[in-house]
A and B are shown apart, each in its own frame.
Chain A
């Protein structure tokens, strides 16, 4: 591991030295021009990789943001005589702003609907540039942009511009790495793996994607500004769909979701046509064929890791915390002594207690580590935590849930049972915001959440698990938990990009809290394994820990014992009781395993054909004639 890190560092250093020294050794301006072109392509590919590789979003309009940057810079330079140092940031901000404004309404789109919307954005940019004669001079383009002027030095030669491109590439790599290596990046990848799962733990899927898209667009805009000042002429050709398609190929050929893959792809696919110049008109034919060949030989990309079917991997950024010494933080010392089972993890866990989610100030007095602490019950302790009134859901003529009303008190464990097709999962889906009710209302902790989206419901403290496990398979166990935990940190984009003090403290807090939680649930041994590779029972546990990491006040568990054998479900029952004891949270449990239900639930609600047919203490409910009839059939 340590050797691997050093080897990579050495390779990176060698690459940087070679990139800087090469144009000094080779003096051919034609080569310098090629290198500058490669550098610009690499910047674009690196930025596209953020949305395409890490975000999993087919951004078919990326060249459009490049174009916005180029035109912004060219117009500012020509109209106002602004120098490169002013036009470049303006171009970045302009492109990022357009991405931001356009992205918000369309980022909830999925798959090809998003790709189409982005393609439309790119096409509009091209059309506007082509047709708005008065400003862009249409097809004839904008000549006479000043060369890049950095006040003390002006880039005049191809070599100068290559160095500028190289600096920009360094900046782009750094920005993308910081974003991806941060909790925001975890959220981005989590949403790529499973957007419903991400929303269920409170990750703002659209917000995170908007940030990533705006950052990528900003970098592309910066590249556009350099292009405009370097070539000193801007017209519409380099910003068309064909450019986006070429960038897609660079990212995929190099390796989606890898740091250096897009750079490798940009080098290869920019130089390839040049190397094939001897073939004259046939060169693009051969180029197309070679592109197919490369994909056939290495479908995961040149630098893509893993076998064919492997998902994308985000490298672990946080090695396990050094266990020597508690990080200096005065607040949590008091917490330490009173940790319930004063276990080995108390020291690091204590750090976590010092910072609690914003809005949970009342909880500060709690003696427990943050991850395992439920927020203190609200002032009106006897008021129900969850209240559902007259909930109804129709699916294309089928009434799945009909006029269901129920309540869950703080700290209560309620079982929701009923025969198959009774509407249990639908009720969970309605409460958690995954489905919209046809009618009826839902309140949680005094606030109405009837039409809130799932991530908002989760951030309010109502978190669900799924009947079919929805972990983030390309993240490790640890990262799965961190992706959920980071939501409450509420880190800003600025903090992430600057690695501010607050950011570093938050990382310490997260590391400690997650360490503690993993240890508590016996997952520390598998914490660096990809979540998708664990045994079923372990995946269930990870899903529970991930849900708990959001610090919920109410857990909705949808058949957590599904597919478990007797021993496993007994273990689960024990786990649920422990969670409840130590966390003091409420649980609404959908389950078929009657032994689990009888063991942990204080109250049962029985659904049949979408309506509540009985409610009460478990031992009463199971003898209720309506319930027996629903389960066993028979005449009324």
Chain B
């Protein structure tokens, strides 16, 4: 059990915020896709996994080391993720637009199984080392000395949602996405090209998953074929904590989840962390049925 001293607590918090930042990006992407398409993307975690492997593959070709390599890895992840997102939207969701609600969900389950096993077939199911040249070493943070990597990950997980927020509120396309999320029918009547906004939302959401995949690879130093499953569960959990349809909530939910997990693992029991997190979640849902941050919107009757 970890000691309760200030340096240790700071270290724990930073660890929690780093992994929480990864959850936040996964959750934000999941929530964005869910908001616009009204369907759970079960292969969201596989996008995260596949992109991490793709970036691992291109890493040796990146000409720089240092911050620029990190930046390029993130950009590459976003590009790969966005491409995967467009493919999935076109290939899976659009053909099933008129199908019963469950159909795209099951189709993404098929995709999830396909991608997991394809990567395991091509690359093997063992752990693959994943390392970025930057950031290395520790930085002083008050009385504690914390890995720079974790701070950078946390920072990335704050900057990207902030940029997204600006894009969603300040641009025409962003407003179209928000309008589609609120009411696709009306958005269409108002001249929004909802097919295009769906594709864009899917691209952005999947890019976020891709970035998260690279960040988690850097954080833990490994990637593997089945890493997407837990990402899906954590991202889903964070989305629920924040309240479905609430993008800010998804980010806050991810960060809260990460910090809570690390604190429980350090001060209660690493072995029972998941059980405790889920038990707390059930109690929380019973008390606040629309998430910790989400607010109940009275339904128009």
Residues of A bordering B, CB below 8 Å: 102, 105-106, 108-113, 116-117, 119-121, 123-124, 127-128, 131, 196, 241-242, 245, 248-249, 252-253, 256, 281-282, 284-285, 287-293, 295-296, 299-300, 304, 308-310, 395, 425, 428-429, 434-435, 466-468, 558
Establish whether residues A288 and B115, one from each chain, have CB atoms under 8 Å apart when the complex forms: yes
**Nearest chain-B residue to A197 (Cβ)?**
B301
* B285 contact from A116, A124, A241, Cβ within 8 A: A116
A289 touches B114 (CB 8 A): yes
Give the A-binding residues of B (Cβ under 8 A): 34, 40, 42, 92, 95-96, 98-100, 102-107, 109-118, 120-121, 229, 233, 236-237, 239-240, 244, 271-272, 274-275, 278-279, 281-282, 285-286, 289-291, 298-299, 301
Give bound CA distance, A451 to B254, whole Å. Answer: 35
The residue in chain A whose Cβ has the minimal distance to the Cβ of B103 is A299
The residue in A112, A256, A282, A299 that gathers the most chain B C-beta atoms within 10 A of its C-beta is: A299
How near does chain A come to B76, taking the closest CB pair, in angstroms?
25
Q: In the docked arrangement, what's the CA distance between A109 and B301, Å?
A: 18
In the complex, what residues of A have CB within 8 A of residue B118's CB? 285
Chain B residue nearest in CB terms to A425: B301
Query: A124, B279: Cβ atoms under 8 Å?
Result: yes
**Chain A: which residue is nearest B40 at the CB level?**
A112
Among B40, B110, B285, the residue within 8 A (CB) of A117 is B285
Alpha-carbon separation in the docked complex, A290 to B107 (Å) = 10
Q: How far is the CB of B52 from chain A (nearest CB, A)?
A: 19
The answer on a CB contact under 8 Å between A119 and B282 is no
Q: Cβ of B275 and Cβ of A295 under 8 Å apart?
A: no
The answer to whether B99 touches A299 (Cβ under 8 A) is: yes
The 5 closest A-B pairs by CB, nearest first: A288-B114, A299-B99, A291-B110, A288-B113, A105-B286
- Looking at the assembled complex, report how far the CB atom of A305 sits from the nearest CB atom of chain B, in whole angstroms: 11
Instruction: List 17 A-B pairs, Cβ < 8 Å.
Output: A111-B244, A113-B290, A113-B291, A117-B285, A119-B236, A123-B233, A127-B278, A131-B271, A241-B233, A282-B117, A284-B114, A285-B114, A285-B118, A287-B113, A296-B96, A300-B99, A395-B298
Q: How far is the CA of A123 from the CA of B286 in the complex (A)?
A: 17
Which A residues are in CB contact (< 8 Å) with B107?
291-292, 295-296
**How many whole Å from A308's CB to the nearest CB in chain B?**
5
Complex CA gap A288/B119 in Å reads: 13
* CB-defined contacts of A127 to chain B, threshold 8 Å: 272, 274-275, 278
Contact of A249 with B109 in the complex, beta carbons under 8 Å? yes
Which residues of the other chain, A, contact B103 by a CB distance below 8 angstroms?
252, 295, 299-300
Known: A256-B100, A295-B96, A299-B100. A466 touches B301 (CB 8 A): yes
Best-surrounded residue of A127, A429, A435 (most CB of chain B within 10 A): A127
For A467, the chain B residues whose CB sits under 8 A away are: 301
Using A248-B109, A287-B114, A558-B301 as known contacts, list a sample of 6 further A-B pairs with CB atoms less than 8 Å apart, ordered by residue number in A: A120-B282, A241-B229, A292-B111, A299-B96, A300-B100, A466-B301
Question: Quick one: given A119-B236, A292-B92, A296-B107, are A309 and B112 in contact (CB under 8 Å)?
Answer: no
Q: How many Å lie between the Cα of A113 and that of B236 in the bound state?
A: 10
Given contacts A284-B113, A288-B110, contact A120 B278 (CB under 8 A): yes
The CA-CA distance from A428 to B229 in the complex, in Å, is 46
- Say which residue of A288, A304, A395 sits within 8 Å of B112 (CB atoms): A288
On whether the beta carbons of A120 and B301 are closer than 8 Å, the reply is no
Q: Given A120-B279, A127-B274, does the pair A281, B109 have CB atoms closer than 8 Å? A: no
A256 touches B275 (CB 8 A): no
Q: Give the complex CA separation of A112 and B279 in angstroms.
A: 17
CB distance from A251 to the nearest CB of B (A): 8
User: Do residues A249 and B106 form an inter-chain contact, with CB atoms below 8 A?
Assistant: yes
What residue of chain B has the Cβ atom nearest to residue A470's Cβ? B301
With A113-B290, A466-B301 known as contacts, the answer to whether A102 contacts B282 (CB < 8 A) is yes
How far apart are B26's CB and chain A's nearest CB, in angstroms? Answer: 15
Report the bound CA distance from A254 to B278 in whole Å.
31
Given contacts A252-B106, A429-B301, contact A119 B233 (CB under 8 A): yes
Minimum C-beta distance from B108 to chain A (A)? 9
Residues on the A chain within 8 Å of B271, using CB: 131
Q: A108-B289, A308-B99, A434-B301 are known contacts. Are A120 and B117 too (CB-CB below 8 A)?
A: no
Do A248 and B106 have beta carbons less than 8 Å apart? Answer: yes
Q: How far is the CA of A454 from the CA of B109 in the complex (A)?
A: 37
A280, closest chain B residue (CB)? B121
Given A119-B236, A435-B298, CB of A285 within 8 Å of CB of B121: yes
Q: Determine chain A's interface SS by DSSP, over half rule.
A: helix
Chain A positions within 8 Å of B98 at CB level: 308-309
Chain B CB within 10 Å, residue with most, of A108, A119, A121, A128: A119
A491, chain B: closest CB distance, angstroms: 28
Q: A196–B282 contact, CB under 8 A?
A: no
A121-B282 contact given A241-B229, A252-B102, A299-B103, CB 8 Å threshold: yes
Residues of A close to B99: CB separation below 8 A: 295, 299-300, 308
Residues of A within 8 A of B237 (CB): 116, 120
With both chains docked as a complex, state the minimum distance between the C-beta of B240 and any C-beta of chain A, in angstroms. Answer: 4
- Candidates B92, B95, B281; contact of A120 at CB < 8 Å: B281
Q: Please name all residues of chain B whose beta carbon is closer than 8 Å to the beta carbon of A105 when the two chains form the complex.
A: 282, 286
CB distance from A402 to the nearest CB of B (A): 17
List, in ascending order, chain A residues with CB within 8 A of B104's CB.
Answer: 295
**Contacting residues, chain B, for A296 (C-beta < 8 A):** 95-96, 107
CA distance A287 to B243 in the complex (A): 34
Q: Are B111 and A308 in contact (CB under 8 A)?
A: no
- Chain B CB count within 10 A is highest, among A120, A300, A429, A558, for A120
Q: What residue of chain B has the Cβ atom nearest to residue A296's Cβ?
A: B95
Please give, as numbers and ranges, the residues of chain A lying within 8 Å of B105 by CB-CB distance: 248, 252
Q: Which of B92, B116, B240, B299 contacts A116 (CB 8 A)?
A: B240
B109 adjacent to A112 (CB under 8 Å): no
Chain A residues near B290 (CB, 8 Å)? 113
| Bound-state Cα–Cα, A292 to B107, Å | 5
Residues of B within 8 A of A434 (CB): 299, 301
Closest partner residue, chain B, to A287 (CB atom): B113
Give the distance to chain B from A108, nearest Cβ to Cβ, in Å: 6
Residues of B within 8 A of A256 (CB): 100, 102
A117 to B284, CA, bound (A): 10
Contact among B102, B240, B275 for A131, CB-based, below 8 A: B275
Nearest B residue to A120 via CB reads B278
Residues of B within 8 A of A466 (CB): 301
Q: A105–B233 Cα gap in the complex (Å)?
A: 22
C-alpha gap A629/B113 in the complex (Å): 67
Instruction: Report how far A293 CA is from B92 CA in the complex, Å.
Output: 10
Residue from A291, A300, A468 within 8 A of B109 (CB atoms): A291
What is the chain A residue whose CB lies nearest that of B237? A116
User: Which residues from B are CB-within-8-Å of A131?
Assistant: 271-272, 275
Known A285-B114, A292-B111, A296-B107; judge A196-B244 contact (CB<8 A): no
Chain B residues contacting A468 (CB-CB under 8 Å) are 301
Complex Cα spacing A290 to B111, Å: 10
Q: Which residues of A contact B92 (CB under 8 A)?
A: 292
How distant is the Cα of A121 from the Cα of B285 in the complex, in angstroms? 12
Report how far A102 CA is from B285 CA in the complex, Å.
Answer: 12
Which residues of chain A come closer than 8 Å to B120, judged between CB atoms? 281
Distance from A494 Cβ to chain B, minimum over Cβ atoms (Å): 28
**For the complex, what is the distance from the CA of A292 to the CA of B240, rounded to whole Å?**
27
Measured in the bound complex, the distance between the Cα atoms of B301 and A428 in whole Å is 10
Q: With both chains docked as a complex, state the minimum distance between the C-beta of A240 and any C-beta of chain B, in angstroms.
A: 9
Q: Which residues of B contact A196 (CB under 8 A)?
A: 299, 301
Residues of B within 8 A of A285 (CB): 114, 117-118, 121
Given contacts A109-B285, A116-B236, contact A295 B106 (CB under 8 A): yes
A557, chain B: closest CB distance, angstroms: 13
Interfacial chain B residues near A293, Cβ < 8 Å: 110
Evaluate contact between A292 and B110: CB separation under 8 angstroms. yes
Q: Measured between alpha carbons, how far is A353 from B132 in the docked complex, in Å?
A: 80
Q: Which residues of A contact B113 (CB under 8 A)?
A: 284, 287-288, 291
Cα separation A256 to B106 with both chains bound (whole Å): 12
B111: min CB distance to chain A, Å = 6
In the complex, chain A residues whose CB is within 8 Å of the CB of B301: 196, 425, 428-429, 434, 466-468, 558
